[in-house]
Structure 1
Amino acid sequence: MLLRARKSTISKMAAALAVSALALTGCGSGSPAASDGPVTLRFSWWGSDVRHKMTQELIDAFEAKNPNINIEGEYGDWSGYWDKLATQVASQDAPDIIQMDAQYLGEYADRGALLELKDVDLSKFDKAAADAGRTQDGLYAVTAGMNAMVVMANPALVSASGVPLPDDSSWTWDEYLETAASITAKSKDGVSGSGPITGDASFNLWMRQHGKSLFTNDGGLGFDEADATEYFEYQASLRDAKAVPSASVITEDASASVDQQGLATNRYAMAWYWSNQLGALSKASGQALEIHRPPSVEGKASSAEQFYKASQFWSASSKTKHPAEAQKFIDFLANSVEAGEIGLADRGIPGNSEVRAAIAPKLTPTDALTAKFIDDIADEVGEAPAVPPAGSSPVSEVLTRYNTEVHFGRISPQEAAKKSIEEIKSTLA
């Protein structure tokens, strides 16, 4: 997936309405007491049939160790998941344990729909991974798996161009542009040096490297119009240098499935993706794709402000009647080596470092490469980004849309900055 929004507008609105309708709930102080008798917990998640079967194995393993706790699964695909969850929350019938996404975490946590997870052990998590689900008010989500934003490269296309890639620990944004432009110029027609760099994640990385951020911890914007103008000016430079494909190709690619996008179909020598997509993209392209760090302003990986992103989270409903048992299940999912060996890298690389080490020998070659990358950048990762605030779900789509307008030349970088900020502020309001 390119770094862009793939969210349903209807789902976003439904989630906002549902959590707005929910009365704020306090979780009290201290740890909740476990129930004396048998307990049934509902657990919702989205994913493929492969994930459904694997998740049932996780449930079976937990129930074998906890015979007094029964877990009932509720699952479906992404397209209907958020509408269903919004309806359940609004009707006070939310599942006890919820597979959560970063784009919706702020919506549900800020309005009291989620339980503060005080009893889940994160001592074996990297700090950035542990903090990914933490708002100003507490921990409302636990990282189910970690991703990092990466530049994936097609070695066959790079080699055919004769243009060497710079050292990814020291390349700058200017060097990235120059390299991509040179690859385009020296490749056959239809091949671009880079795919588009778009969406909220790349925007946030750019801002972090410039001493700013997409959001602040109190829910505001962490950048201003001048900051955004510089970002969109870089997009115009990519366009003018032909480092990326034409705006019309970018638009077509945006609506394509991952296995039909430019990197997967051997039309881009480099492209920006999440690290856990390496396997799918390598399979689709028929190439052993490489993972590289994104560029930095200073040409130093140590100051690149890279960040871990939770591929998904584990959350619990604030309305659960069994908070102790719900947290016990989440703790099992997050910290059990047995759970790690069942799930492997399906939901991303485990946040628990001991689990990560235990499953390494069992990973596929591409997942093992991803896990190694996650470990390699551990000392380079900056603080966890602020949890997106309520109303922020459309932000990635807004940034992507104005980015495309700049590539078409229909709007100036200054206009894109001004209008995107106005639109983002209106969604947050």
Structure 2
Amino acid sequence: MHPATSPTAGPPAEPHHRTPVPRRRFLRGVLATAVAVPLMFGAAACGDDSAGDDGQVKLSVFWWGGEARAKLTEDALALYTKKHPNVTFEKTWQANQGYFDKLATLTAGGNPPDLFQIDDNYLAEYAGRSTVLDLKSYQDSGKLDVSKFPKSLLEYGVVDGKLAGVASGENTQGLVYNKTLLSKNGLPEPTTGQSWEEHIAWAEQVAKKAKVPGTQDPSADYKAFWVWLRQQGKDLYAGKDLGFTAEDVTKWFTLWKGARDRGATPTPDVIHEGNASDVTKQLVVTGKAATSWVWVNQMPDLKKNTKDELGVVAYPGDPSAQWARASMYWSVFKGSKHRDTAVDVINFLANDPEAVALLGTDRGLPSNMDLRATVSQTVTDPAMKQSIQVETELAQKFGQSPQVPIKGHSKVKSELVKAAENVQYQRATPEQAAEQFLAACRSAIA
């Protein structure tokens, strides 16, 4: 994914930081952090906002992204200072790589940011360690206005009944397809609502007529697996446990083994290429498959990598299994001495018309639906217009959001890739790979 629009990616180089941080390991992971945070900062969480003798507040803010995101964010924060002259910011940003190691080190080492960006890989983990402030009381008092947010987008920031993060933008899953290829070969376009079996049959038809595999094999893609599970009445997680069984995984792997056997997907080596998160390697733009399974907000960056016209629809099956996913969140450190101000900054970034216009669609579609409509009218990039249109249409079909992923989610995602590729390369049967995957998942979330 491109850093300017991606919830996970960033540029290769890491800019300077506001303070040098000793290079240490992840303090052997979250255990040291879990111990350090409550002991060092628990008392501070009970105090009110405090300013200096001159009434000035300096708020530290930390986020990941590229230079484009940095410029937009800095402009929005400067606008806040213009409207609130007593508040200034210590701004730190870096590439996604190493961001969460740095955040954990800062938090455990006594130098946490007041306000920071986080994603759904880590939100539940930080909330579980009481590192982030519960924003529910601010919501209830009206100091944090989320009344214009889609319900499922707001709920996707709730962990154990606490509002742990506020979505800085919305995204959802999208099946991107090569319209030019289909038109050239007189083939129909995929449509929202087609079943998984219909999608595979369509992909087989594309492969036979266009001589290009109809679809990337998404058996290693947790986004596709998650949507498919929800359509079966299951989920990726249930409380602190997994929401699926080995039998579910076996069915999923078997579905795509059948698709490969029919020639609807590429060969394992090409599938492996497409499993890379780099947008330039998605098979729909390299010409090695007619479709790729991505996030809707990747459309502009995909378009930059192909001359062909692209289309996007929901993942197969009932679209109500999809939801308004937070592309990323803003969270406040629980021990911040300036947490009231930090919350007000979140409220400003979400609801101030000028700030939202400045930020545009960099972090996904604006969470405030009224302002999203305004911003969408100013977008000139055809691919982004397409993204907004599709996501706006899907928003009418979104179902209830799932719970925020639990600790170990990143490992679960990587283990799915490993298990799926074991089946693709015939190193394991679907049943064997499913059992191995389940065991690895249980270890990851323990």
Query: Does the pair score TM above 0.5?
Result: yes
C-alpha distance in 2, partners of 1:382/1:146?
A: 14
TM-aligned CA distance change 1:165 to 1:404, over 3 Å = same
Describe the SS at the equivalent of 1:291: strand
C-alpha distance in 2, partners of 1:384/1:30?
A: 31
**Shift of the alpha carbon at 1:34?**
6.8
> What residue is the counterpart of 2:279 in the other structure?
258
> What residue is the counterpart of 2:78 in the other structure?
60
TM-aligned CA distance change 1:156 to 1:143, over 3 Å = same
Q: Is the 8 A contact 2:158 2:165 kept in 1?
A: yes
Q: Does 1:125 pair with 2:121?
A: no
**Shift of the alpha carbon at 1:226?**
1.4
C-alpha distance in 2, partners of 1:34/1:374?
A: 41
| Residue type at the aligned position of 1:150 | G
Q: Does 1:22 pair with 2:40?
A: no
Report 1:13-412 matches (<5 A): 16-24=30-38, 35=51, 37-118=55-136, 119=138, 120-166=144-190, 168-188=191-211, 191-197=212-218, 198-216=220-238, 218-255=239-276, 257-296=278-317, 300-301=318-319, 304-363=320-379, 364-412=381-429
**Shift of the alpha carbon at 1:170?**
2.9
| Residue type at the aligned position of 1:108 | Y
Q: What is the aligned-residue identity percentage?
A: 32
TM-aligned CA distance change 1:321 to 1:131, over 3 Å = same
Give the alignment's Cα RMSD to 1 decimal.
2.5
Greater shift, 248-257 or 306-315, is seen at 248-257
C-alpha distance in 2, partners of 1:11/1:154?
A: 44
Greater shift, 246-255 or 398-407, is seen at 246-255
| Residue type at the aligned position of 1:138 | K
C-alpha distance in 1, partners of 2:268/2:329?
A: 34
| Cα distance per residue 1:328-377 (max 9 Å; x no partner) | 00111112211111011111001110110111111122222211222211
| Cα distance per residue 1:248-284 (max 9 Å; x no partner) | 1112333473113311222221111100000010121
TM-aligned CA distance change 1:407 to 1:379, over 3 Å = same
C-alpha distance in 1, partners of 2:26/2:306?
A: 33
C-alpha distance in 2, partners of 1:282/1:11?
A: 39
**Shift of the alpha carbon at 1:21?**
3.0
TM-aligned CA distance change 1:30 to 1:287, over 3 Å = farther
Greater shift, 276-285 or 16-25, is seen at 16-25
**Shift of the alpha carbon at 1:209?**
0.2
Count of residue pairs the alignment pairs up: 417
Describe the SS at the equivalent of 2:85: coil
C-alpha distance in 2, partners of 1:93/1:77?
A: 19
| Cα distance per residue 1:45-100 (max 9 Å; x no partner) | 11111111111101111111111111111011111212211110111211011010
Q: Is the 8 A contact 1:14 1:87 kept in 2?
A: no
**Structure 2, gaps ≥5 residues long:** 11-23, 139-143
* TM-score, normalised by the number of residues in structure 2: 0.88
C-alpha distance in 1, partners of 2:165/2:25?
A: 20
Q: Is the 8 A contact 1:219 1:388 kept in 2?
A: no
**Shift of the alpha carbon at 1:237?**
1.4
Describe the SS at the equivalent of 1:313: strand
| Residue type at the aligned position of 2:200 | L
Q: Is the 8 A contact 1:115 1:315 kept in 2?
A: yes
| Residue type at the aligned position of 2:390 | F
| Residue type at the aligned position of 2:365 | I
Describe the SS at the equivalent of 1:56: helix
**Structure 1, gaps ≥5 residues long:** none
| Cα distance per residue 1:178-203 (max 9 Å; x no partner) | 11111112123xx2211121322111
**Shift of the alpha carbon at 1:17?**
4.0
Q: Is the 8 A contact 2:9 2:65 kept in 1?
A: no
C-alpha distance in 2, partners of 1:11/1:313?
A: 25
| Residue type at the aligned position of 1:212 | K
Q: Is the 8 A contact 2:150 2:324 kept in 1?
A: no
C-alpha distance in 1, partners of 2:290/2:92?
A: 40
| Cα distance per residue 1:139-167 (max 9 Å; x no partner) | 0111111111011111111123332134x
C-alpha distance in 1, partners of 2:437/2:415?
A: 6
| Residue type at the aligned position of 2:310 | L
TM-aligned CA distance change 1:68 to 1:306, over 3 Å = same
Q: Is the 8 A contact 1:27 1:318 kept in 2?
A: no
* TM-score, normalised by the number of residues in structure 1: 0.91
| Cα distance per residue 1:113-147 (max 9 Å; x no partner) | 11112322211100011111111130011111111
